[in-house]
Each structure stands twice: as C-alpha cells, then as structure tokens.
C-alpha cells in the first residue's frame, strides 16, 4: 500500500533526482528532492484510497493507505516550506510547467488498466525535478531546461523500448523501427543542447549508448530477459547515463 508497485518507476524517478544533486547540490535542492519524492510515494496509497472510496467500501488497507497519505503529505509540505525558505520561489517554477502533465497522469492513472498516456506523462513531468534542483543550485534557466530536456530524451525512448522488448521476449509481434527512431530523435535533441554548450559532450555519449542498447536489444541476437532482469539492467543504464552527464559537468 505504501510503495509503488511499478519497479521501473523507481529508476525513472531517481535519475533526475541524482543528476540534479550531482550537478548542482544545495540544501534547497535537497529539500525539493525530499518533497518531490514524497509526492511520488504519495500516489500509491492515494490510488488505493480513491479506488476503495469509489466502490463505497472501507477495508483495512483503506485505513492504512489514508494514514500513509497523511505522513507522505506532511513530509512533502514540510520539505516544500524548507525549500521555499532556503531557495525562494524560482526553483518551484518547473513544477508549475509540469503541472499539466501531472494532471494527465492523475486522470489516466486512476482508470483501470495500464495507459500509455500515464506511463509517458509521469516521467516527463517528474524529470522537471532536475530543473528545479538546478535552479536551486544556482544554474541558469537555459541549463536547467536543458537538463530537463536530456532526462526526457532518456525517459521517453526507454519506456517505448522496454514495452517493445517485453513484447518481443513474450513472442508477440512488433516492429522496432518506431522505437529506434525515437532513440535517434533523442540523440538529435541532445546534440542540439550540447552544441551551444548548455550540456557537456558526455550527454551525447550517454544517449548514443542507449541507442546502441536499443539496436541490440530489439535485434534477433538479443537474449530473452524477464521483466525483473530487464528492469535491473535499465537501472544500470540509467545510473551510467546520469554519471556520464555529471562527470561532464564536473570536468567542465
């Protein structure tokens, strides 16, 4: 009840948090991270509570979910106030930009089943955390938005890749070309952000590695992988991606 059931969400949430703290560490940024992560955890008990309320039922899990919601909500509010005191209003601006996507996520996430709108909207919106932390750490708007763009270029093709890879490993038909095109587009976007100097060159290396992984992972030469094993592998790629970009900033 208190923890998200989707294992892949942990990686896509932790990556912008780590990248922001690695590139622009600050106490205000840390407080923003605590607030954002608390809201991420808040979603699961809120979903359970809403589902039971719609049915007009109150189970033991309903009460537990409600209590956990209060704890997560209190932590998020307290951390937000600390971030406001330490960093002012500016670092909260990316969250306002991400709000429409969060509303899309909440709408589809409360409906039964899995919906691609929710799966894409959530990581794109949460990637805004890296921009908020960057602003709190004193980086410029253009660099903060570039970091957000990089995390979107990491998240969206990855979600498409994982979905396609699991289908292929289950023996279901599917074409890899759309997913590969998404990875190529991500490389082009990141090159466009690196060229003016907003991101380090290592960002291009990171998305190029992800493209290579997708080419191999969707080819006939791949090995079959369980969902859990694939999830851990993607966590490794995510950490490598974050470290490459962070090292680029540290060296610059």
Q: What is the DSSP string of 187-219?
A: HHHHHHHHTTTSS-THHHHHHHHHHHHHHHHTS
Q: For position 44, what pLDDT does the model report?
A: 85
Q: What count of other Cβ atoms lies within 10 Å of the Cβ of residue 73?
A: 15
Round to whole Å and give the CA distance between 204 and 225: 27
119-128: buried (b, 16+ CB within 10 Å) or exposed (e) per residue? Answer: bbbbbbbbbb
| Start-to-end C-alpha separation, the chain | 44
Round to whole Å and give the CA distance between 8 and 40: 13
Round to whole Å and give the CA distance between 76 and 134: 19
Task: For the chain of 252 residues, list the mean pLDDT of each consecutive stretch of 10.
Answer: 69 92 97 94 86 80 89 96 96 94 81 73 92 97 98 94 89 88 97 97 97 94 83 91 96 84
Cβ(242)–Cβ(22) below 8 Å: yes
Round to whole Å and give the CA distance between 252 and 239: 20
Instruction: Name the token pair of 153.
Output: 């270029």
Residues sharing a CB contact under 8 Å with residue 22, sequence separation 6 or more, in sequence order: 242, 243, 246, 249
Round to whole Å and give the CA distance between 208 and 211: 5
């Amino acid at each position: 009840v208190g923890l998200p059931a989707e294992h892949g969400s942990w990686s896509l949430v932790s990556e912008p948090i780590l990248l922001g703290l690695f590139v622009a560490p600050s106490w205000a940024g840390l407080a923003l991270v605590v607030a954002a992560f608390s809201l991420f955890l808040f979603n699961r008990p809120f979903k359970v509570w809403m589902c039971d309320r719609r049915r007009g039922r109150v189970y033991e899990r309903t009460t537990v979910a409600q209590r956990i919601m209060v704890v997560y909500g209190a932590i998020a509010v307290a951390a937000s106030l600390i971030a406001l005191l330490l960093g002012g209003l500016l670092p909260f601006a990316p969250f306002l930009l991400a709000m429409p996507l969060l509303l899309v996520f909440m709408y589809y996430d409360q409906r039964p089943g899995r919906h691609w709108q929710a799966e894409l909207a959530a990581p794109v919106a949460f990637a805004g955390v890296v921009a908020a932390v960057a602003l709190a750490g004193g980086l410029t708007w253009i660099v903060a938005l570039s970091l957000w763009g990089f995390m979107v270029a990491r998240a969206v093709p990855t979600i498409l890749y994982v979905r396609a890879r699991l289908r292929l490993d289950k023996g279901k038909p599917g074409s890899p070309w759309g997913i590969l095109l998404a990875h190529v587009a991500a490389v082009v976007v990141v090159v466009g952000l690196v060229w003016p100097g907003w991101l380090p060159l290592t960002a291009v290396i990171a998305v190029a590695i992800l493209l290579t992984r997708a080419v191999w992972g969707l080819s006939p030469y791949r090995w079959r992988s369980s969902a859990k094993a694939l999830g851990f592998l993607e966590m490794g790629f995510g950490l490598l991606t974050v470290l490459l970009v962070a090292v680029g900033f540290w060296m610059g």
